[in-house]
A and B are shown apart, each in its own frame.
Chain A
Amino acid sequence: QKEVEQNSGPLSVPEGAIASLNCTYSDRGSQSFFWYRQYSGKSPELIMSIYSNGDKEDGRFTAQLNKASQYVSLLIRDSQPSDSATYLCAAHQGGKLIFGQGTELSVKP
């Protein structure tokens, strides 16, 4: 079983829609969770972090964490073509960051 799992996609949404990206993790000892965005041919960049149960909003992005269900999600409101990228979920456990396989998001104009 992979430690951090995501649907690989691709996920396609129309411009202006809400994109919903999901992630589950296996290690209950994980304390903090992150979403990284990776454009094609580029390095990952941190877009959201979440440490406690509930929602965390930052502009058009909302991260959600449910530790009981071992579930993390990222919502992108008013999706733009510039949001088209691979989104990597990561869990911080044992002093290291473990990444999921990433979900490719395509926002169609």
Chain B
Amino acid sequence: SAVISQKPSRDICQRGTSLTIQCQVDSQVTMMFWYRQQPGQSLTLIATANQGSEATYESGFVIDKFPISRPNLTFSTLTVSNMSPEDSSIYLCSVDRSGNTGELFFGEGSRLTVL
């Protein structure tokens, strides 16, 4: 397993503001992923956070809206920029400790509500 700490666990934000979510892992991992889970929905992959290089974004997600940093092998941040109510969601950091096998461990999530 992996110990993954996410901050904040929840927040209420105003429209037009930005919020940065932090993800700290207890050991070095190669693969880190950011997912979004909208109310009552499944998980949608936002991007793969690559250490030392730009994140790889999925279709429908862009760097200007969701900038990601990955300064080292244990830490990543996801920023949700210029938020609107449609961004109200749970944002989940996940890691694959075995490389890129699909066996993911998830943080506790960050529940954002945008008013």
Chain B residues with CB under 8 Å of chain A are: 33, 41-45, 48, 58, 92, 100-109
Contact of B33 among A45, A46, A96 (CB under 8 A): A96
Size category of the binding interface on chain A: 20 to 34
In the complex the two chains form, is B103's CB within 8 Å of A34's CB? yes
Q: Which residues of A contact B107 (CB under 8 A)?
A: 43
In the complex the two chains form, is A44's CB within 8 Å of B43's CB? yes
Q: Is the interface of A mostly helix, strand, loop or mixed?
A: strand
> A29 contacts the other chain (Cβ, under 8 Å)?
no
Closest A residue to B4 using CB positions = A43
Q: Which residues of A contact B108 (CB under 8 A)?
A: 42-43
Q: Mark A33-69, 1 if CB is under 8 A from B, else 0.
A: 0101000001111100100000000000000000000
> A77 contacts the other chain (Cβ, under 8 Å)?
no
Contact of B103 among A49, A88, A96, A98 (CB under 8 A): A49
A61 to B51, CA, bound (A): 36
Separation in Å of the A69 CB from the closest CB of chain B?
20
In the complex the two chains form, is A100's CB within 8 Å of B42's CB? yes
